[in-house]
């Protein structure tokens, strides 16, 4: 029995990443109904909005689903109350210290998974008592670790350092990617970009169409002086890059960034001035389709890939 | 039959990367004798030095070996003459345009492999008539592509774009890494860092010892305004980083870099002022040992990993 399927009580060890502006109740419930783990991304929601999404998700599926909560988010504490009061069973915490909330969440009966990008925080998460860790590589979209360690390197390093179940994230969108991650020692995989380009994602259609047009080299890790974030190279990115090349200070960069850029790009569909957070693997994506079809394709490809590999011997 | 084993007439589809200052005839012949493909790194050699290395390699092994030639190297043309005159059978070209020399090399009976870091050059290499492509991800040590595409993403993209045999490089040092790369569609793997930390590598012992002490986050892609190179963060790196953060020009960076930094670090063992080129996967390496033991471990682990994966089905 796969440890991730067992932990979450799901059919496939695949979870859809909780993402700002892209993963509301529609996407989360679609993924959960298809046998994966859907995750509501709370990092772009006001407390009352999160409450509505959780309630709608509970109505739309009787399968397990989770909420992703960036711990540094201003509404983190209110979100935790909502998550507990609404009876959510699984929470993915990220962007913060796992020692702060894990015990409290566990004491309230939740399964807790923490997202990390380096070995130090993987160990810290295990020590804090989390049930599993998501290790996210440099190629992942959105916020990203300072070490720039890629999935290929991060997974074996984290696997060596901790014993609890390990979910690989970053650069994975297919069944072959899933098999590669599991070969490296992961128990399951998390996919973000693949599910942004789905019918049920709340990303703006302009953004979805942009994603399936990207090629290799079209995303870049930017704003390293503020908080590293991987995004599509557009007009906004070029402005930031120019400032960075000129040696701009944090303050100057923060001013250029302004507020609401990610909503502007990903939710409102402004492809020039908005922040378009997506992973490198978007270059492999060529279609937008229902989450259930995506998941079925992934699992079918995984099973085919296993058959191709199974007789290899040197 | 594995396509890479067939192409090179070797036992295991594993080649040791041709690396400046680290891979002379001793390492190349040791890897070839152990059943992989050893490669002499010509990018740091004068023409007469390369000739001696090839001659010694031929005496040390009767198995196939190759020479790696960066096409932008000032002695590239003389090296090509030496390679042909000395009867080398396989050449790995890198850092340059595959259309320039491939036909000439093929006409002289050589097997030609070109190293690329993006889809565009993979296609260009296939069109130029090369026999195989090495696709090298962002996590690799030394010189590196501008797109920063990681192995996890690059391999499936290149696999989709070309039909000829594909060798994965970057972030691979173990049998599990090899299986992951092959799950993604690679026919074989190339490993650099792992073989730098071998008895037979010509790297200075100080550098080898430094490699096996690194942790995740200890290497970084640097000098992006000149030629991107992944190296260990040391005093030299910090100076370059400070200049980059201040918005230094190419000229200023080139002046700070100076000449002979890589020899100083990797061959002479000056860990403070030298350039220490190595991949992210060095964080996983904890020992220096003979190349034959390294290769045996990789193959043993690969076979074990296949057994673990072979019955997975969802």
What are B67-85's pLDDT values in tens digits?
Answer: 999 999 999 999 999 999 9
Shared domain for A183 and A258, answered yes or no, is no
| Mean pLDDT within B198-214 | 98
Alpha carbons B187 and A181: distance in angstroms, whole number = 17
- B249 interfacial to chain A (CB closer than 8 Å): no
Shared domain for A21 and A158, answered yes or no, is yes
Tell me which chain A residues have a C-beta less than 8 angstroms from the C-beta of B224. Answer: none
Over residues B91-121, the pLDDT tens digits come to: 999 999 999 999 999 999 999 999 999 999 9
> Helical H runs in B44-202?
47-60, 76-85, 98-107, 119-128, 151-161, 175-183, 193-196
Give the minimum alpha-carbon distance from A216 to chain B in angstroms, rounded to a whole number: 7
Alpha carbons A106 and A280: distance in angstroms, whole number = 34
Tell me which chain A residues have a C-beta less than 8 angstroms from the C-beta of B183. Answer: 176, 179-180, 183, 305, 309
pLDDT of residue B225: 86
Nearest CA in chain A to B224: A245
Contacts of A302 (CB under 8 A, 6+ apart): A175, A176, A178, A179, B312, B314
Please compute, for residue B6, the number of CA atoms within 13 A of its CA located in the half-sphere on the CB side. Answer: 9
Over residues B223-277, the pLDDT tens digits come to: 988 889 999 999 999 999 999 888 889 999 999 899 999 999 999 999 999 999 9
Alpha carbons B305 and B301: distance in angstroms, whole number = 6
Residue A225 has pLDDT above 90, yes or no: no
Is residue B159 within 8 A of residue B138, CB to CB? The reply is: no
Nearest CA in chain A to B119: A216
pLDDT of residue A244: 87
Residue B14: inside a domain: yes
Determine which of A184-188, A192-196, A241-245, B301-305 has the lowest per-residue pLDDT on average.
A241-245
pLDDT of residue B246: 85
Determine which of A17-26, A185-194, B184-193, B218-227 has the lowest per-residue pLDDT on average.
B218-227
Residue B12 has pLDDT above 90, yes or no: yes
Give the minimum alpha-carbon distance from B192 to chain A in angstroms, rounded to a whole number: 14
Shared domain for A198 and A277, answered yes or no, is no
Residue B224: inside a domain: yes
Shared domain for A183 and A231, answered yes or no, is no
Domain of A131 in residue numbering reads as 3-203
Tell me which chain B residues have a C-beta less than 8 angstroms from the C-beta of A138. Answer: 138-139, 150
Residue A304 has pLDDT above 90, yes or no: yes
Alpha carbons A149 and B220: distance in angstroms, whole number = 9
Share of chain A above pLDDT 90, in %: 95
Q: Could you tell me the two tokens for B240?
A: 């370059």
Q: What are phi and psi of B83, to 5 degrees?
A: -60, -45
Shared domain for A19 and A150, answered yes or no, is yes
Helix (H, G, I), strand (E, B) or coil at A79: helix
Shared domain for B24 and B63, answered yes or no, is yes
Shared domain for A116 and A51, answered yes or no, is yes
- A307 interfacial to chain B (CB closer than 8 Å): no
The mean of the pLDDT values for chain A is 97
Residue B128 has pLDDT above 90, yes or no: yes
pLDDT of residue A237: 97
Decide: pTM greater than 0.80.
yes
Token pair 């390492």 in the structure block, residue: B27
Alpha carbons B96 and B50: distance in angstroms, whole number = 19
The complex's ipTM works out to: 0.98
Residue B1 has pLDDT above 90, yes or no: no
Residue B286: inside a domain: no
Rounded to a whole number, what is the distance in angstroms from the first to the last CA of chain A?
Answer: 28
Over residues A75-91, the pLDDT tens digits come to: 999 999 999 999 999 99
pLDDT band at A266; cut points 50, 70, 90? very high
Output the domain CATH number for residue A59: 3.20.20.70
| Mean pLDDT within A52-73 | 97
Shared domain for A131 and A229, answered yes or no, is no
- Per the structure, the count of domains in chain B is 2
Return the DSSP state at B89. -
Residue B313: inside a domain: no
CB atoms A314 and B12 under 8 Å: yes
Shared domain for A148 and A216, answered yes or no, is no
| Mean pLDDT within A104-121 | 98
- A253 interfacial to chain B (CB closer than 8 Å): no
Sheet of strand B188-191, all strands in order from the earlier edge strand to the far edge: B14-16, B188-191, B166-169, B132-136, B111-116, B90-94, B65-70, B38-41
CB atoms A156 and B12 under 8 Å: no
Q: Dihedral, CA atoms, B116, B120, B126, B129, nearest 10 degrees?
A: -80
């Amino acid at each position: 029995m796969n440890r991730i399927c067992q932990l979450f009580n799901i059919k496939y060890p695949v979870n859809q990443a909780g993402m700002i502006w892209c993963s509301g109740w529609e996407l989360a419930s679609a993924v959960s109904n298809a046998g994966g783990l859907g995750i509501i991304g709370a990092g772009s929601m006001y407390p009352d909005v999160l409450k509505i999404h959780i309630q709608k998700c509970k109505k739309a599926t009787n399968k397990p689903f989770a909420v992703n909560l960036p711990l540094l988010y201003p509404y983190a504490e209110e979100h935790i109350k909502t998550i507990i009061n609404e009876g959510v069973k699984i929470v993915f915490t990220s962007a913060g210290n796992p020692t702060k909330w894990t015990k409290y969440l566990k004491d309230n009966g939740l399964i807790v998974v923490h997202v990390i990008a380096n070995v130090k925080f993987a160990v810290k998460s295990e020590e804090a008592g989390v049930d599993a860790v998501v290790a996210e590589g440099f190629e992942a979209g959105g916020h990203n670790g300072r070490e720039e360690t890629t999935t290929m390197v991060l997974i074996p390093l984290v696997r060596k350092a901790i014993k609890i179940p390990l979910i690989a994230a970053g650069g994975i969108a297919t069944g072959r990617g899933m098999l590669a991650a599991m070969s490296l020692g992961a128990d399951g995989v998390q996919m973000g970009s693949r599910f942004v380009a789905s019918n049920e994602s709340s990303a703006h259609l302009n953004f979805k169409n942009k994603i399936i047009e990207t090629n290799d080299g079209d995303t870049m890790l930017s704003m390293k002086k503020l908080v590293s974030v991987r995004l599509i190279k557009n007009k906004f990115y070029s402005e930031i890059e120019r400032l960075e090349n000129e040696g701009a200070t944090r303050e100057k960069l923060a001013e250029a960034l302004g507020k609401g850029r990610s909503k502007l790009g990903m939710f409102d569909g402004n492809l020039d001035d908005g922040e378009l957070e997506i992973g490198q693997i978007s270059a492999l994506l060529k279609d937008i389709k229902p989450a259930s079809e995506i998941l079925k394709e992934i699992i079918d490809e995984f099973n085919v890939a296993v058959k191709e590999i199974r007789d290899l011997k040197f």
